[in-house]
Amino acid sequence: MIPVAGAVRLGQDRVHGFRLPIPFLLLWIVLLPFLVLVAPILFIAALCVRVNPLQAVAAPFRILAALKGTHVEVVNDQFSMLVNIF
């Protein structure tokens, strides 16, 4: 299953700061019309390079599904950022 939400914590240190929830589900809904328009072009491109179109479409979704549970933390002397994808 592709990730449906995430959270970003920004602040001056690890304890203080604010948390910004990100609903990825709304992002997928907004991107859906664009994907429908691009799908025929990708299908033709996959056939031209002799790649199975179904595998070419499935690969990005497998990458998105692998992002679930990712935690990225960047900290330096002045600023910290924590990204959680769930």
Query: What digits encode the pLDDT tens for the residues 33-56?
Result: 998 999 999 999 999 999 999 998
Domains of the chain, by residue range, sit at: 27-85
pLDDT in tens, 4-43: 788 888 876 555 667 788 888 888 889 899 989 999 999 9
CA dihedral 71, 77, 78, 83 (to 10 degrees): 0
Q: How far is CA 39 from CA 48, 75, 83, in A?
A: 14, 39, 30
